[in-house]
A and B are shown apart, each in its own frame.
Chain A
Amino acid sequence: MSEPTTVEAQPDAGASRWHRMWSAVDERLGLEGLQYPIPEHANKLAYSLGGLTLITFVLMVATGIYLTQYYNPDPTFAHESVRNIITSGSTGKFIRSFHYWGAMAMIVLVGLHLLRVFVSGSFKRPREANWLFGVVLAGITALLFFTGTVMKWDQESLEALEHNIEIGKLLGRFGFWFSPTFGTPLLTRLFVVHIAVLPFLFTIVVAIHLMLVKRLKMAPSPFRKGPEPEPIRPFTKHLAELGALALVLIGILTILAVLAPPPHGPAPIEGLEITKPPWPLLWVYPIEDWVGVAGILWATLAIFLMLFLVPFVDRTPERHPRRRLPMMIAAGVVVVTILGLIVYAAVQPVASHIGMS
């Protein structure tokens, strides 16, 4: 990479006003540094999924800031405060709905991004560490989704929290945080986790993730044919494309938020199990049926353990999926199993799990 050059500000009568302004800003912020070269394939939609996930996260923060102005994280008032957000006017209803659909989009995007990186072998040496940071980000996203599910504080939320508490008990000493020994209710503490701790961690880890992408450069595409070197594009072009795709994403989320706002369940009553979790968490529901609440813990740990092990198991330099068939088949089985469990759980009747041995 070339050394950054210092540009002396020179009055240029021929330059347009816009260019003069850009030069003045660039001289002070070094924005030209963003024009570093990246391969052409990075501008495809499949290689923009990570960026779109980050944009969705920003949208979640923005809409979340609005919602926190009206949400009351006290268990006595939480349900009513959510109901007030929905019923007090179209703005609150729309923002909450947008937040809901954004969360769904973030889960889908992070899943597709992981899948793309896996299929294209982009996690291979020297990018193994960045894969691990990516898995951590997927975990944080899942936790953000789960804690967000609890925030609406309806029957489904309380049941989710009760499962959480049961899992805390299974963890023994490590689950102490979920015990009622703290002075502040668990809902309130989870609220802090949802709006502060997890977004903070996400920001830190995503910064490291992006830094490593820049440092290690984009992985070559396994699908490129021919001996010619791949054309190069400036990173700013990728940013421009990402911005355009973000507009499409925001448009889709806007339409969904307007036409399909999420329902809000009844006020929670302790001790009941009469709901199912939202679809991203639904795959553990049949496992609970079979082995009890402990199944949630073990199944989740198993999935993340498998993800962590990927770069240590698939160590050949080969990136093309056809030449990594065993890994592709294994991943396919896992993905199909999860999707199958979601469908199976969707048609299953509601069952009681807490207290199962």
Chain B
Amino acid sequence: MGDRQRGIVLRTGVLLAALTSALVIGHAGSALAHEGEENVPAITDVQEAIAILAEHPGTFPAEEVADHANDKIGDALESEDARGVLLPLVKQAQDAMDADKPDEALTLLERSIGACPGAPVIEPQDAPRRPPALASPCPEVAHILALEGTPVGGSTEAVLLAVGVALILGGLALTRRVR
């Protein structure tokens, strides 16, 4: 996996994390109290695991992050509602976590719910009955990332700047003349 693709996946993870945070708040009763975990859809557990892995490195000790993520992965594997999730990939993610490879686990978790960068987020209630078909590898979708505003650049920039300055000076001179 190249650095660029890793970056894409991580950014998608961060966005998913924010969504999942909202879901966690919305379903705080069941998700945070650890009650009736088998009733929580696996897709929710997976999204929460993604959120934990993508959002919290550096915020909390690595062991704590791994424990939380492992809990969620375990919950996903035990969930009675596995709609929309490729459980074999979740299992692979669990193995990756055991091998201390959280980045690989994150990617596997994203793939388990068909979350290639740019893919729409699936709400648990909208999860398909069959797991999503995977596009492998994920398509190149650079356009989904944020693009910082950068100057026009090149010779065009110099020409346009010269035109801009000329227009300002010309306009000011004309204003004085017209008055």
A binding-site residues for B, Cβ under 8 Å: 43, 79-80, 83-84, 86-87, 90, 93-94, 97, 154-155, 237, 240-241, 243-255, 257-267, 269-274, 352
Q: Is B157 an interface residue (CB 8 A)?
A: yes
B15 touches A269 (CB 8 A): yes
B175 and A266 within 8 A (CB): no
Q: Is the CB of B167 within 8 A of A94?
A: no
In chain B, positions 135-165 with a C-beta closer than 8 Å to chain A are 141, 143-154, 156-157, 160-161, 163-165
- With A244-B175, A264-B147, A265-B146 as given contacts, are A90 and B153 in contact (CB-CB < 8 Å)? yes
Known: A155-B15, A267-B118, A271-B19. 9 other contacts (CB 8 A): A79-B144, A241-B175, A251-B167, A252-B164, A258-B151, A261-B152, A263-B149, A264-B147, A352-B22
How far in angstroms is the closest Cβ of chain A from B178? 5
Say whether, besides A255-B165, A271-B121, A261 and B178 are in contact (CB < 8 Å): no
Question: Are A260 and B149 interface neighbours, CB within 8 A?
Answer: yes
Chain A residues with Cβ under 8 A from B98's Cβ? Answer: none
Residue pair B120, A270 in contact (C-beta under 8 Å): yes
Q: Is B172 an interface residue (CB 8 A)?
A: yes
B11 at the interface (CB under 8 A from A): yes
- The answer to whether A272 and B19 have CB atoms under 8 Å apart is yes
A90-B152, A263-B148, A270-B120 known; A240 vs B163 contact (CB < 8 Å): no
Contact B148 A254 (CB under 8 A): no
Interface check B134, CB cutoff 8 A: no
Q: Taking A83-B143, A251-B167 as contacts, is the C-beta distance between A270 and B121 under 8 angstroms?
A: yes
Cβ-based interface call for B29 (8 A): no
* Whole-angstrom CA separation of A272 from B170 in the bound complex: 48
Q: Establish whether residues A267 and B144, one from each chain, have CB atoms under 8 Å apart when the complex forms.
A: yes
Q: B174 to chain A: which residues have CB within 8 Å?
A: 240, 243-244, 247
Residues on B with C-beta less than 8 A from A250 are 164, 167, 171
Query: Which chain B residues border A80 with CB–CB below 8 Å?
Result: 143
Please report B residues at the A interface, Cβ cutoff 8 Å.
11, 15-16, 18-19, 22, 118, 120-121, 123, 141, 143-154, 156-157, 160-161, 163-172, 174-175, 177-179
Please pick, from B145, B148, B167, the residue contacting A247 in the complex, using a CB distance under 8 A: B167
Residues on A with beta carbons closer than 8 Å to the beta carbon of B152: 90, 93-94, 97, 257-258, 261
**Contact, CB under 8 Å: B22 / A271:** yes
Q: Are B160 and A254 in contact (CB under 8 A)?
A: yes
Q: Which of B156, B167, B169 contacts A90 (CB 8 A)?
A: B156
Interchain nearest-CB distance for A261 vs B (Å): 4
B19, chain A: closest CB distance, angstroms: 5
CA distance A287 to B69 in the complex (A): 37
Assembled-state Cα–Cα distance A259/B150 (Å): 8
In the complex, what's the smallest C-beta–C-beta distance from B18 to chain A, in angstroms?
Answer: 5
**A267-B143 contact given A43-B179, A237-B178, CB 8 Å threshold:** yes
- Chain A contact residues: helix, strand, loop or mixed: helix
Residues of A within 8 A of B120 (CB): 269-270
Complex Cα gap A250–B166 (Å) = 10
Give Cα distance in the complex from A156 to B16, angstroms.
Answer: 16
A221 to B141, CA, bound (A): 59
Bound Cα distance from A100 to B145, whole angstroms: 20
Report the separation of the CA atoms of residues A83 and B161 in the bound assembly, to the nearest whole angstrom: 23
- A selection of 28 A-B contacts at a CB cut-off of 8 Å is A90-B152, A94-B152, A94-B156, A241-B175, A241-B179, A244-B174, A247-B171, A248-B172, A251-B171, A252-B168, A254-B160, A255-B161, A255-B164, A257-B152, A258-B151, A258-B160, A258-B161, A262-B149, A267-B144, A267-B145, A269-B121, A270-B120, A270-B121, A271-B121, A272-B18, A272-B19, A274-B18, A352-B22
Contact B171 A244 (CB under 8 A): yes
Which of B141, B148, B164, B168 has a CB less than 8 Å from the CB of A258?
Answer: B164
List residues of chain A with CB within 8 A of the CB of B15.
Answer: 155, 266, 269, 272, 274
Chain A: which residue is nearest B166 at the CB level? A251
Contacts of A97 in B (CB 8 A): 149, 152
Q: In the complex the two chains form, what is the Cα distance from A218 to B140 in whole Å?
A: 60
Q: How far is the CA of A246 from the CA of B171 in the complex (A)?
A: 7
Chain B residues in 8 Å Cβ range of A263: 146-149
- A90–B146 Cα gap in the complex (Å)? 19
Q: How far is the CA of A127 from the CA of B146 in the complex (A)?
A: 48
A244 and B178 form a contact (CB under 8 A): yes
Across the interface, which residues of A come within 8 angstroms of B172, CB to CB? 244, 248
Bound CA span A249–B174, Å? 13
Which among B165, B170, B179 has the highest number of chain A CB atoms within 10 Å?
B179
Q: Cα distance A352–B156 when bound, in Å?
A: 42
CA distance A254 to B120 in the complex (A): 37
Among residues of A, the one whose C-beta sits closest to the C-beta of B160 is: A258
When distances are taken between beta carbons in the complex, the residues of chain A under 8 Å from B179 are 43, 241
Q: What is the distance, in angstroms, from A271's C-beta to the closest C-beta of chain B?
A: 5
Knowing A90-B152, A93-B152, A269-B121, the reply to whether A247 touches B168 (Cβ < 8 A) is yes
